[in-house]
Amino acid sequence: MTPLGQELARLIRDEGPLSVSRYMALALGHPRHGYYMKQDPFGAAGDFTTAPEISQIFGELIGLWAATAWRMMGKPAPFRLVELGPGRGTLMQDMLRAGKVVSGFREALTVHMVETSPVLRERQRATLAASGMAPVWYERIEDALDGPALIVANEFLDALPLDQFVLTPEGWRERLVGLDGEGRFAFGLSAAPEGRIARPASQGAVLEQPLAALETVATVARHVAAEGGVGLFIDYGAVQTGFGDTLQAMRQHGFVDPLAEPGDADLTVHVDFARMAQAGRAAGAAVHGAVRQRDFLLALGLEQRVAALSRRAVPEHAARLAAGASRLVAADRGTDMGQLFKVLALADPRLPLLPGFDLHRLPEQAAP
Ligand code: SAH
């Protein structure tokens, strides 16, 4: 068992089974043994890779998008460029470099990072050292927001803990993490049904309650509606609320059992974009999208960017640029990034429709 596993087993023996959200929060964020707290998990040598690590073009297009959004906001100065869960800092670095072409944008902004991992904070500091900016770090999003803001989050909501409920003949019961007869982690159900859920479903259906993600989205939406700006969320998930267990664990680029190695495997969930949009709207923001990552990046000029960069590149670099870009927008299979990933913006309702969202809006369907 992993060191965190031993600690969690002790906790379960003392206090009883853990909710899925508590298990997830500790597996990812335990101060000493949490997955993100002790290592840099990205890249070929790590456990998984993300869009900004695949291609510089991802961050560059989002940087240009942000600069355009800033102009549409009336060029507020100063304003905050905020990133939630910035990983290695690559997205911010690429955004800042691309944003240089829009006059006044860089001069008007200050950089703010919401990151709980000390290891990744150091990594972000190193990545941004040459940027000429002086980023400020925060544990909590509430503390990072003040005045007009552009808030960007790639693969952040998927790392936030959620709870799960299963429909049984006695009603909805909470899915819990306990120990089996041999002392291994196992899923079980709460003894008492959860009376507050009234959702028609078939027996065995799993309902996920992403409270932390919904709170994050609502905080962003409230802020931009009151003080101006936009929140941009990019993640994998569906635009129609469905049932099902989406908890997954990844290690060395493959799926593993989410209960097998707490602290040593990445744990994520799929994002329910219909509910995120609903929460954003309820908090006063206008909802743009969701659109597929493919449609968003193509609308922002991915192909033109590849062509422009390739003209100045040696053949191997040009080939890498083309391969990276096509991976971001591939949409042949449901698991391809361009199809699986969605982009949702929550904006100050005074803003017009933002670039990338005018076409291909996916029909969102919230739960009954
Ligand atoms: N956006 C990056 C990294 C995605 S991984 C990229 O696209 O490459 C998730 C990131 O969110 C990591 O930086 C992780 O440390 C951070 N994170 C996870 N849970 C968090 C929380 N509750 N608060 C702040 N940051 C968190």
Please determine, for residue 339, whether its predicted confidence score (pLDDT) is greater than 90: yes
CA 105 / ligand 1 centre spacing (Å): 25
Q: Quote the ligand 1 centre to 277 CA distance (angstroms).
A: 21
Residue 40's domain comprises: 36-159+210-294+331-347
CB 177 within 8 A of CB 185: yes
Task: Check whether 285 has a pLDDT greater than 70.
Answer: yes
In this prediction, residues 335-355 reach a mean pLDDT of 97
Query: Distance (Å, rounded) from C-alpha 158 to C-alpha 178?
Result: 23
**Using 50, 70 and 90 to split pLDDT, how confident is the model at 198?**
confident
86 CA to centre of ligand 1 in angstroms: 6
**What do you get for the CA distance between the two ends of the chain, in Å?**
42
Q: Would residue 94 count as lying in a domain?
A: yes
Asked whether residue 242 carries a pLDDT value surpassing 90, the answer given is: no
Angle between helices 302-311 and 56-72 (to 10 degrees): 120
- What pLDDT is recorded for position 241? 84
Burial of 348 per CB tally in 10 Å (0-12, 13-18, 19+): buried
The answer as to whether 50 is a domain residue is yes
Taking 3-state DSSP, the helix, strand and coil percentages for the chain, each rounded to the nearest 5, stand at 40, 25, 35
Ligand 1, atom nearest to 29 Cα: 19
For residue 125, is pLDDT > 80?
yes
Q: Which string of DSSP letters, residue by residue, matches 147-158?
A: SSEEEEEES-GG
Q: How far is the CA of 87 from the centre of ligand 1 (A)?
A: 6
Dist. CA 57–CA 69, nearest whole Å: 18
Is 24 contained in some domain? no
Q: How far is the CA of 209 from the centre of ligand 1 (A)?
A: 20
Residue 20, in any domain of the structure: no
Those residues whose C-beta lies under 8 Å from the C-beta of residue 143, and which sit 6 or more positions away, are none
Q: b/e string for 133-169 if b means 16 or more Cβ within 10 A?
A: bebebbeebeebbeebbbbbbbbbbbbbbbbbbbbee
Nearest alpha carbon to residue 342 among 228, 208, 236, 192? 236
On average, the pLDDT of the chain sits at: 95
Say whether pLDDT at 93 is over 90. yes
Residues paired with residue 84 on neighbouring β-strands, in sequence order: 114
**Within a domain: 40:** yes
Instruction: For helices 315-329 and 56-72, give the axis angle rounded to 10 degrees.
Output: 60
For residue range 99-119, list pLDDT tens digits in order: 999 999 999 999 999 999 999
- Mutate which of 35, 36, 142 for ligand 1? The one with the most ligand atoms within 8 Å of its CB, which is 36
Mutational pocket test of ligand 1: of 117, 232, 267, 293, the residue with most ligand atoms within 8 Å of the beta carbon:
117
Residue carrying the six token digits 């073009």: 57
Query: Rounded mean pLDDT of 122-139?
Result: 97
Total residue count of the chain as it appears in this document: 368
Distance 156 CA to ligand 1 centre (A): 5
**Residue 354: which pLDDT band, with cuts at 50, 70 and 90?**
very high
Q: What is the pTM of this model?
A: 0.96
pLDDT at 366: 65
The residue to mutate among 48, 61, 88, 115, having the most atoms of ligand 1 within 8 angstroms of its beta carbon, is: 115
* Among candidate residues 224, 168, 226, the one with its CA nearest the CA of residue 197: 168
For residue 307, is pLDDT > 60? yes
Give the strand pairing for 271-272 and 286-292.
Answer: unpaired
Mutate which of 39, 56, 94, 116 for ligand 1 pocket (most atoms within 8 A of beta carbon): 116
Q: Compute the distance between CA of residue 240 and CA of residue 260 in angstroms, rounded to an integer.
A: 30
> From ligand 1's centre to the CA of 269, what distance in Å?
13
Q: 62 Cβ partners below 8 Å, 6+ apart?
A: 91, 94, 95, 152, 232, 300
Q: What is the pLDDT of residue 77?
A: 98
The tokens describing 273, both together, are: 């974009």
Could you tell me if residue 249 is inside a domain? yes
Residue nearest to atom 10 of ligand 1 (CA): 85
Instruction: Answer yes or no: is pLDDT of 363 > 90.
Output: no
**Domain CATH code at residue 70:** 3.40.50.150
Residue 66 Cα to ligand 1 middle (Å): 20
Residue 240: pLDDT band (50, 70, 90) is: confident
Of all atoms in ligand 1, which is nearest to the CA of residue 37? 15
Query: How do residues 134-148 score in pLDDT, each as one tens digit?
Result: 999 999 999 999 999
Closest CA to 41 of 250, 322, 309, 206: 250
pLDDT for 367: 57
Q: State the pLDDT at residue 185.
A: 98
pLDDT band of 199, cuts 50, 70, 90: confident
Is pLDDT at 170 greater than 90 in this prediction?
A: yes
Closest residue by Cα to residue 168 from 134, 194, 150? 194
pLDDT in tens, 36-81: 998 888 877 788 899 999 999 999 999 999 999 999 999 999 999 9
CA of 160 to the centre of ligand 1 (A): 9
Please tell me the least confidently modeled range out of 10-24, 38-52, 332-346. 38-52
Is residue 77 in some structural domain?
yes
The number of folded domains in the chain is 1
Residue 187 within a domain: no
Higher-confidence position of 59 and 253: 59
Q: Does residue 368 surpass a pLDDT of 70? A: no
Query: Distance from CA of residue 97 to its chain's centroid?
Result: 22
Contact residues of ligand 1, CB 6 A cut-off? 28, 36, 42, 50, 52-53, 85-87, 91, 114-117, 120, 154-156, 159
Is 203 within 8 Å of 328 (Cβ atoms)?
A: no
